[in-house]
Structure 1
């Protein structure tokens, strides 16, 4: 609670869905520079916490947009496993850049317990039958909004 959520996407439809889920701001990356817009929305401070899902050169944009002493959590590699970015913001802002990976069993149990207590519901974009695995994988390639579920 208390977070002001800014979502970036190249899809108006996905931004609308993010608003429906409670996002405070949406930035269409195709229509404006998202780093500049983050600064405008934060009074020139930058974002305190960025979830970096693109990887690749996207990390460079996140380094520009992060606030001093902020955090960038790298949780995806949509643009490739090699990440790159300018060293200036890294040296001047001292952000924490961390990779997110699968934790141990106890961490998963704690997470599941928190999800149950809070009543969180996952966003499911589409459900497929087991016989439709190729279609489900193609959906993943198109960039779903939420989870793609394969039912057995």
Structure 2
């Protein structure tokens, strides 16, 4: 689960988290303080992990290079939504049928 830390928002994420789940904290929503009961985290053996991204300027440069060079991801197989279980660990799950396919 991706989480913006701040206020009691993380409490709702902790309740929604599955057993053994992980909350990846990527930014701030209502300040930098966390308001959270430890009980849901302990009972679910959950993990809160901070992650960081690069600077926006670097992201924009990366996207410009991708566009200029026509870089496309390598996709081995596309799965229909109904086959999502078979797709776990794969690259793409199709949620809607493509026109003409």
The TM-score normalised by the length of structure 1 is 0.35
Instruction: For structure 2, list consecutive stretches of 5 or more residues without a partner in the other structure.
Output: 74-101
Deviations 1:111-150 (A, max 9, x none): x5xxx4546xxxxxxxxxxxxxxxxxxxxxxxxxxxxxxx
Structure number with bigger Rg: 2
Number of positions where the alignment pairs a residue of Structure 1 with one of Structure 2: 63
Q: Are 2:34 and 1:80 aligned?
A: no
Over the residues paired in the alignment, what is the CA RMSD in angstroms? 2.8
Q: Which has the higher contact order (CA 8 A, sep 6+)?
A: 2
Q: For 1:61 and 1:99, locate their aligned partners in 2 and report how far apart those are by CA, in whole Å.
A: 18
Instruction: For structure 1, list consecutive stretches of 5 or more residues without a partner in the other structure.
Output: 1-49, 120-152
Higher normalized strand content (fraction of residues): 1
Deviations 1:93-126 (A, max 9, x none): 01121011246xxxx8xxx5xxx4546xxxxxxx
Report deviation, 1:80: 0.9
Q: Which residue of structure 1 aligns with residue 4 of structure 2? A: 53
CA pair 54-118 structure 1, distance change in 2 beyond 3 A: farther
Higher normalized helix content (fraction of residues): 1
Q: Which residue of structure 2 aligns with residue 38 of structure 1? A: none
The TM-score normalised by the length of structure 2 is 0.51
Report deviation, 1:86: 1.2
Q: Which residue of structure 1 aligns with residue 98 of structure 2? A: none
CA pair 118-72 structure 1, distance change in 2 beyond 3 A: farther
Q: For 2:10 and 2:26, locate their aligned partners in 1 and report how far apart those are by CA, in whole Å.
A: 11
